[in-house]
Amino acid sequence: MLKELSIENLAVIESADIPLAEGFNAFTGETGAGKSILIHGIQAVLGQRTSRDIVRTGCKRATVTAVFSPVSEAAHAVLAEFGQDTEDDELFLTREISADGGSTGRVNGRAAPAALLRALGETLVNIHGQHDNQILLRPERHLEVLDRFGDDTTLLDTYKKEFSELQAVARTLTRLRKNEQEKLLRLKELQGIIEELGALDPQPQEDVILDEQFRTASRAEESAELAGMLSRMLTDGEENISDALAAACDQLSRLADSEPDAEPLLGRLRALNIELRDISDEIGALTDGQLSPAEFDALNKRRNEINTAALRYHTDADGLRELYQQSLRELEAIETDADRLRTLTQERADRLHRVTELAKQLTAHRQRLAEEFSRRVGEELSFLNMPRVKLSVNLTQGKLTPSGMDSAEFLISANPGEPPKPIAQIASGGELSRMMLALKAVLAERDDIPTLIFDEIDTGVSGRAAQKIGLKLRALSQHHQVICVTHLAQLATQANHHLLIEKHSTETETRTEVTVLDREQRIKEIARIMGGDDDSALLLQTAEAALDSAQDTVS
């Protein structure tokens, strides 16, 4: 439960340490005294959105600290989820709101995100304000209320899990089915690439190797032409040097017959002719490795094929090889997607069947729940001085949603014999407050949240109805800590812990104080609520009698 609330520089509250007790805590005070600031403070420390406007004028920051003890198992579970825990059975939550708009949260002195404060708040406190009555006017919230009434959420949890998995499969199917025509076109394109490059079978760096071979072969052809020309000049042509030397040798031989000194020259000339032929043979040998025309044509054709493919796909031989492998993988993936599509289609059908069956079970469960819920709310409404009002739950079925296939709307019949109608068409503000309290009372039976806070639950009611609300809050306080901000004596007298909120103003400032009232102070405050500025002895006696009567009723 909430043991203490400390507030500094929050709106008109300069400083307040507010002790709270088990059972029924009532806050009273004149209109404008700052009762709503308490609710804002509790909401802030529980991680709700805040505004820098809430910081007291002239101050740098506002601070709210709440002490809870004992700490529930649900709160311990939240702490563990966020990597924190408390060995003591006491929990300190702090929220600082800066005038510049920032805020800082702490749990047991350690920095904590607002998400942790909110998660803890959901296990510690349930706040009911006037705006919560709108739940009754919004049918889309009624199914949630009905489900909260159920004490076993196993079926609903199972359904939600199965529905979520069905959605995941459906999303995957949608993605796979999207642009199926584009996939078919891509499939045809991939098959063409694989067929072309598979037949081409480019080898590592083949384009580089072929270019080098082509350059070498081209140079060899040029060399062969030059060698042929030299060979014709030296030994093979019609007027080659070798034949001319041979003719010269014949002439020199005839000269040597008459001139003995010419014999050595003849030997030298003959040796020169032999050397010339050797040179011609060696020149011919230089081109023995030349490609044949057929071989050169084959080389040139392969080079053109590789280069053409590389140009088409904007890559090189190695890139062509990678493109081929990549295309194979993508083709396999598309074919696998097709198989997966068939598998997922069947899986979706199976899951849809399971989810539908669970939804039907959930509907049957809710129909039973609605009967019990209507009965219990009817009992509470009767106690709250609305005996003729009957609440029923209109359950209708539609498409599957994350919460089932049901829609729920609370209908009320204000008088016997009248057909049930939507609450918004019938209920007044005071009736809404009592109906909401009836719902809270019914839900509290199944709820393990330790602290219930009611902010002016008595709006629009008076007299006997207000007394019944006070009695119901006192009854709730037997199992929950109840904190109520009220302006009615019928509620304040039922509390076992009464706090007064007072505003004090000077020419320069306004501040609010919170005081725990003793018996005599309670009597005076109850008298004020009853009669305003009338502080007559008779009114004090009436207030005292009302207090004693209320306390005797619940003792």
Percent of the chain with pLDDT over 90: 28
Q: Would you say residue 169 has pLDDT above 80?
A: yes
Strands 497-505 and 510-516: antiparallel
Distance CA 438, CA 376 (A): 9
**Strand 91-98 with 510-516, pairing:** unpaired
In this prediction, residues 393-416 reach a mean pLDDT of: 92
Cα 510 from Cα 32, distance rounded (Å)? 11
Within 10 A of 350 (CB to CB), how many other CB atoms are there?
A: 12
H helices of 180-316, where?
180-200, 206-231, 241-258, 263-285, 293-312
When mean pLDDT is compared over 115-129, 172-186, 290-304, 324-338, the highest value belongs to: 115-129
| Token representation of residue 88 | 């003591």
Q: Which residue has the higher pLDDT, 458 or 490?
A: 490
Burial 491-507 (b: 16+ CB within 10 A, else e): bbbbbbbbbbbebeeee
Q: How far apart are CA 199 and CA 340, in angstroms?
A: 30
Q: Minimum mean pLDDT among 85-94, 165-174, 215-224: which range?
A: 215-224
pLDDT at 289 over 60: no
Return mean pLDDT, the chain. 84
Q: Are 334 and 183 in contact (CB under 8 A)?
A: yes
Q: Which amino acid is at 232?
A: R
Is the confidence at residue 275, as pLDDT, over 70? Answer: yes
pLDDT at 133: 64
CA distance 501 to 12: 11
Residues 6+ apart with CB under 8 A from 547: 493, 519, 522, 523, 526
> In degrees, to the nearest 5, what angle opens at C-alpha 548 toward C-alphas 543 and 552?
150
pLDDT digits (tens, 9 = 90+) for 106-153: 999 899 988 999 999 988 998 876 556 667 778 888 998 899 888 788
Residue 532, Ramachandran bin (φ over 0: left; ψ between -120 and 50: alpha; else beta): left
> CB within 8 A of 386, min separation 6: which ones?
431, 434, 435, 465
pLDDT tens digits for 346-391?
999 999 999 999 999 999 999 999 999 999 999 988 888 888 888 9
pLDDT band at 222 (very low <50, low <70, confident <90, very high): low
Q: pLDDT grade, residue 265 (50/70/90)?
A: confident
- Evaluate if residue 288 carries a pLDDT over 60: no
User: pLDDT tier at 215 (50, 70, 90 boundaries)?
Assistant: confident
CA angle 344, 350, 351 (to 5 degrees): 85
In this prediction, residue 287 has a pLDDT band, given cuts at 50, 70 and 90, of low
Which residue in this structure is represented by tokens 């009436």? 542
- In this prediction, residue 371 carries a pLDDT of 94
Is residue 469 over pLDDT 70?
yes
- To 10 degrees, what angle do helices 429-444 and 463-476 make? 20
- Which whole number is the average pLDDT over 5-25? 90
- At 179, the pLDDT band (50, 70, 90 cuts) reads low
pLDDT at 163: 95
Listed ranges 254-263, 311-320, 367-376, 527-536; the one with the highest mean pLDDT:
367-376
Q: Which ranges in 384-488 belong to alpha helices (H)?
A: 429-444, 463-476
Residue 506 pLDDT class (50, 70, 90 cuts):
confident
Q: Are 373 and 149 in contact (CB under 8 A)?
A: yes
For position 116, what pLDDT does the model report?
Answer: 92
Q: Span 16-21, mean pLDDT?
A: 91
Q: What is the pTM of this model?
A: 0.65
Q: What local confidence, expressed as pLDDT, does residue 64 receive?
A: 94
The CA distance from 495 to 481, in Å, is: 11
Q: So what's the pLDDT on residue 554?
A: 53
pLDDT attached to residue 73:
86
Query: Residue type for 219, please?
Result: R
Lowest mean pLDDT among 54-58, 312-316, 328-332: 328-332
Cβ neighbours for 164, distance < 8 A, ≥ 6 positions apart: 402
In which order are the strands placed within the sheet that holds 125-128?
A: 125-128, 451-455, 481-485, 24-28, 497-505, 510-516
Q: 256: Cβ–Cβ under 8 A, 6 or more apart, which residues?
A: 262, 263, 265, 266
Is residue 444 within 8 A of residue 125, CB to CB? The reply is no
The proportion of the chain whose per-residue pLDDT surpasses 70, expressed as a percent, equals: 90
More confident residue, 110 or 220: 110
60-74, 92-106, 340-354, 458-472: segment of lowest average pLDDT: 458-472
DSSP label at residue 55: B
What value does the mean pLDDT take over residues 393-406?
94
The pLDDT, as a whole number, for residue 260 is: 80
Tokens, residue 483: 């904190």
**Sign of the C-alpha dihedral computed for residues 456, 460, 462 and 466 taken in this order:** negative
DSSP character string of 501-555: EEEEE-SS-EEEEEEE--HHHHHHHHHHHHHTT---HHHHHHHHHHHHHHHHHH-
Q: Quick count: other Cβ atoms within 10 Å of Cβ 287?
A: 16
Residue 290 has pLDDT above 70, yes or no: no
Give Cβ neighbours of residue 470 (< 8 Å, ≥ 6 apart).
Answer: 488, 490, 491, 492, 493, 494, 550
Q: Distance of alpha carbon 478 from its chain centroid, rounded?
A: 40
CA dist., res. 365 & res. 376, Å (int): 17
* Confidence band, pLDDT 50/70/90 cuts, at residue 286: low
Tokens of 529: 């609520």
